[in-house]
């Protein structure tokens, strides 16, 4: 049975398994859950680095090897979804598919090989879903927040106002084609030396500055009136290293607060390490060893532009946002 069969979406209830699949430039992530109170209870999860966007920055196309790796991961996702008898599913693809000239062929192949229907979402919707997923980690004060997501092919920036009733209002969203895969591939030599790293940080600052053209958020940050929340593999990796974890543990990293001084110290240490030394870190591994410094450079640019002095780490994002949006929509429909 194909996973997009409309009969599978009928009559969702409290025991309905919902699935959210987020196919990014670097990773394929799946989360399955059932409704629980105002949130959900996770019943299964899957994550694999597929590097779908490998070589995209220079060729403009998804490569055959990247497609093959990604299809293999998506087959496993489809198997898990069927095994859990998932009744509600949304599968989204982001920057790599938005930019690839052959994205239609890829989407058709995914459907043929796995039964999954990929929906290529806009940068604004990607940012909105990430915001919905990590919103519970925002503090009531200060009432202005900057939320960011450093991805494989893009970086999303979101300005948020926290309202007195506990909800959040999105004021502005910007998605920039600046990610760890594209930067790591195009500037790999510069990332291996201090001068090159600092040059990339300065260039990233210039590209990110468009989000705050009048400098208002920067002034709020300096005055202690802006909070910062980061959701990405870069910040979770640095969080795990900061805690000295012998094995990455989401429960310890999600919600962690890190000072900028610690972020800079760890980032510069990683920049000075060899590939093998970074790969030996239990929070990095060989697959991400050549990407983590690119993420550190983008994060350094964010921290310098908006010097809040600390940020909160979120190991959650688009998938959680998808699950919550589907569950809440079904709850509203059931109550009418």
Q: How far apart are CA 135 and CA 162, in angstroms?
A: 10
The per-residue pLDDT for 13 is: 60
The parent domain of residue 274 ranges over: 135-318
Is 5's pLDDT higher than 60? no
Is 129's pLDDT higher than 50? yes
**Global pTM exceeds 0.95:** no
Q: What is the pLDDT of residues 163-204, one digit of tens each?
A: 998 889 999 999 998 999 888 888 877 888 899 999 999 999
How many structural domains are present in the chain?
A: 2
Domain final residue pick, 121, 146, 181: 121
Q: Is 327 part of a structural domain of the chain?
A: no
CATH number of the structural domain spanning residue 63:
3.30.420.40
Q: Is 1 part of a structural domain of the chain?
A: no
The per-residue pLDDT for 37 is: 87
Quick check: 313 and 237 in contact, CB under 8 A? Answer: no
pLDDT > 70 in the chain, percent: 96
Is 290's pLDDT higher than 90? no
Mean pLDDT of the chain: 92
Strand 27-36 with 118-120, pairing: unpaired
Do 185 and 63 fall into the same domain?
A: no
The per-residue pLDDT for 3 is: 54
Q: Is 336 part of a structural domain of the chain?
A: no
Is 336's pLDDT higher than 90? no
Quick check: 217 and 226 in contact, CB under 8 A? Answer: yes
Question: On the CB side of 88, how many CA atoms lie within 13 Å of its CA?
Answer: 21
DSSP state of 25: S
Do 55 and 103 fall into the same domain?
A: yes
Do 159 and 110 fall into the same domain?
A: no
CATH number of the structural domain spanning residue 310:
3.30.420.150
Q: How far apart are CA 218 and CA 212, in angstroms?
A: 8
Do 109 and 148 fall into the same domain?
A: no
pLDDT > 90 in the chain, percent: 81
Q: What is the pLDDT of residues 27-52, one digit of tens each?
A: 999 999 999 988 899 999 999 999 99
Q: Is 20 part of a structural domain of the chain?
A: yes
């Amino acid at each position: 049975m194909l996973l997009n069969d409309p009969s599978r979406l009928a009559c969702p209830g409290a025991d309905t398994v919902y699935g959210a699949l987020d196919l990014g430039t670097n990773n394929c992530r799946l989360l399955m859950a059932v409704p629980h109170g105002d949130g959900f209870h996770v019943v299964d999860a899957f994550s694999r680095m597929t590097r779908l966007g490998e070589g995209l920055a220079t060729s403009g196309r998804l490569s055959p090897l990247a497609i093959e790796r990604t299809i293999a991961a998506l087959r496993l996702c489809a198997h898990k979804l069927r095994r859990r008898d998932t009744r509600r599913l949304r599968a989204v693809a982001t920057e790599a598919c938005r930019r690839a000239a052959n994205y239609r062929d890829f989407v058709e192949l995914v459907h043929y090989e796995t039964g999954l229907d990929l929906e290529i979402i806009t940068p604004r919707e990607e940012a909105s879903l990430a915001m919905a997923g990590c919103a519970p980690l925002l503090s009531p004060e200060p009432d202005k927040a900057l939320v960011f997501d450093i991805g494989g092919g893009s970086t999303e920036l979101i300005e948020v106002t926290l309202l007195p009733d506990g909800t959040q209002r999105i004021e502005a969203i910007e998605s920039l084609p600046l990610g760890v895969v594209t930067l790591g591939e195009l500037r790999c030599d510069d990332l291996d030396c201090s001068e090159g790293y600092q040059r990339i940080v300065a260039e990233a600052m210039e590209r990110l500055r468009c989000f705050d053209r009048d400098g208002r958020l920067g002034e709020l940050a300096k005055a202690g009136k802006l909070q910062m929340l980061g959701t990405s593999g870069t910040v979770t990796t640095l969080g795990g290293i900061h805690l000295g974890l012998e094995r990455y543990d989401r429960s310890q990293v999600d919600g962690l607060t890190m000072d900028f001084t610690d972020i800079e110290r760890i980032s510069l240490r990683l920049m000075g390490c060899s590939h093998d030394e970074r790969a030996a870190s239990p929070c990095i591994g060989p697959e991400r060893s050549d990407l983590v410094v690119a993420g550190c450079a983008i994060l350094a640019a964010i921290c310098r532009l908006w010097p809040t002095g600390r940020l909160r780490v979120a190991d959650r994002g688009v998938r959680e946002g998808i699950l919550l949006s589907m569950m809440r929509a079904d709850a509203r429909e059931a109550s009418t």
